[in-house]
Amino acid sequence: MINGIPNTKYLKLQAVNDCSELDHIICFFSTGKMMITRVTDKKFVGKDLIYANVWKKGDKRTIYNVMYSDGSGGPTMMKRFYVNSITRDTEYDLTKGNKGSKVLYFSANPNGEREIVTVVLRSRPHLKRLKFDVDLGELLIKGRKSTGNRVTKDIVQKVLLKETGGSTLAARKIWFDDIVARLNDEERGRFIGEFKGEDRILSLYSNGEYRLSDFNLSTRFEDDLIHLEKWNPSHAVSAVYYDGDKDLHYVKRFECEINNNKRVLFISETEGSCLDVVSTAFKPEIRIIYNKHLKSTKNLPDTLMDLSSFIDVKGMKAQGNQLTKLKVKEVMLSHEIGVGAEPWPDNTVEDIPQSNEPVSDAELVSTVGAIQVETTKPKKEVLTEVKVKLHKEKTAKVKSKKEKISKTEVKKTTRTKDDLPPTSAPKDQKTDVDEDSKTIEWDLSDKKERENDDENDQMTLF
């Protein structure tokens, strides 16, 4: 699309998107105008076209971000909105309608992604800061008729995109219709999952290729598609393939490494190679059917094999392990591609009760070392085991202290009367306590009486 002319026949023009004659095209202009029209062979919609794409009625997921100047020299405004219903071939003004208004920044996000932009002001003597960032994700999503929020009163020179984040909308439920091989959100077909942000869809093909695509409803899938599901980066893909150069069957398990929305080959590139089975189950099980026309395999029964115990997860470019040296007629999967006998374990960690007592570094290092010696688990699982172990030890110590205290209290209450010391003793009887203790006697009589007694004692001496 060039010079405001949407066209389906002119191959020299820039392609916008795949569309049919029944689709509608939404157009935005630098003057702040917007219009929706039907797809035709040739139609002039106007000058200063800045964006055009296929529009679907009732679409509330596609969010448009706009920054515009209100008139010549007026303040700069910003707004986020969606377009779900409109009258065809009618111009709508996204600004306040003042003369000289123009769009400074525009973006269309199919899933409401968060954007951070840098606003550059025109230099003036009184301005100290000529640049500042604006997070458009914090702006509320309103209708197209809203005027928006004011960014600044000063004249803006340009607006640049600094960073793009995840979706600011809720998770989107998506179904897959096997009849037309298209995604939809109208509950037609098989439910795939809830998608948000950078979630991907994993599609597997019969020629030994996989593809990681986004969850845009306009995504198309080829006819050789054999399986489609929501991609989990921690779930491995198991495959059995035939190598045409070596005339042998190989088994490999790998995690998808390339997610650039292109088909990637994960089996041998030699001529004659083909894919036998592929599965995304936790413990995939295959059935090996041997060639009954040969003497060595004539009487051999079919073999069941668990691929998760046969080979570990390796790199995507690894050749894999040899399945068997015997001649194989066919390899079959004993269950569905995405569902096995045992589901994938849940990686969510249960909440561990927190204790008020701090954990010393020496205790943490010793427990981590002990656990790492015993097992070769990932770091996250080791740390969770350490916290659980320390918490159990602390609770055991607290329980032992409480038991000791309760035992001492029981002993005090069960003491007999004979064990208790005597309350009082006769005056003439001397106890052990009186002999051991040191007493101090105080004379509380008057001084005059004491002096008279002393004189009488002296007279008696002479």
Residue 418 domain flag: no
CA 393-394-399 angle, to 5 degrees, is 100
Q: What is the pTM of this model?
A: 0.57
Do 209 and 257 have their domain in common? yes
In a domain, 451, yes or no: no
Q: Are 39 and 163 found together in one domain?
A: yes
Residues with Cβ < 8 Å from 357, sequence gap 6 or more? 394
Where does a domain end: 167, 198, 217?
A: 167
Q: Give per-residue pLDDT as tens, 307-347.
A: 999 999 998 889 999 998 888 889 999 989 988 888 888 76
Count of domains observed in the chain? 2
Is 241 within 8 Å of 249 (Cβ atoms)?
yes
Q: Are residues 40 and 184 in the same domain?
A: no
Please check whether residue 359 lies inside any domain of the structure: no
Whole-number Å distance between alpha carbons of 2 and 48: 10
My answer on whether 154 and 182 are in the same domain is no
- Name the token pair of 326: 């015997």
Residues 79 and 141 in one domain: yes
**Which of 142, 167, 192 is the last residue in one of the domains?**
167
- Residues 209, 115 within the same domain: no
Quickly count: other Cβ atoms within 10 Å of residue 268's Cβ: 20
pLDDT at 83: 92
Is 145 found in the same domain as 202? no
**pLDDT score of 261:** 85
454 located within any domain: no
Residues 6+ apart with CB under 8 A from 24: 36, 37, 38, 39, 54, 55, 56, 57, 88
- Report yes or no on 79 lying in a domain: yes
My answer on whether 126 and 38 are in the same domain is yes
Question: Any residues with CB less than 8 A from the CB of 310 and at least 6 apart, and which?
Answer: 251, 321
- For 305, the token pair is 């094999």
Question: Do 126 and 190 share a domain, yes or no?
Answer: no
* Ranges under pLDDT 70 in the chain: 1-14, 347-383, 386-387, 402, 404, 406-462
- The answer to whether residues 114 and 232 belong to one domain is no
Please name the residue that has the structure tokens 């374990």: 345
The set of residues, in sequence order, having a beta carbon less than 8 Å from that of 255 and lying 6+ positions away, is 233, 234, 235, 236, 237, 313, 316
Task: Give the pLDDT score at 352.
Answer: 44
Same domain, 287 and 311: yes
Question: Given this model, what pLDDT does residue 267 score?
Answer: 92
- Together in a domain, 200 and 187: yes
Range(s) of the domain holding residue 59:
24-167
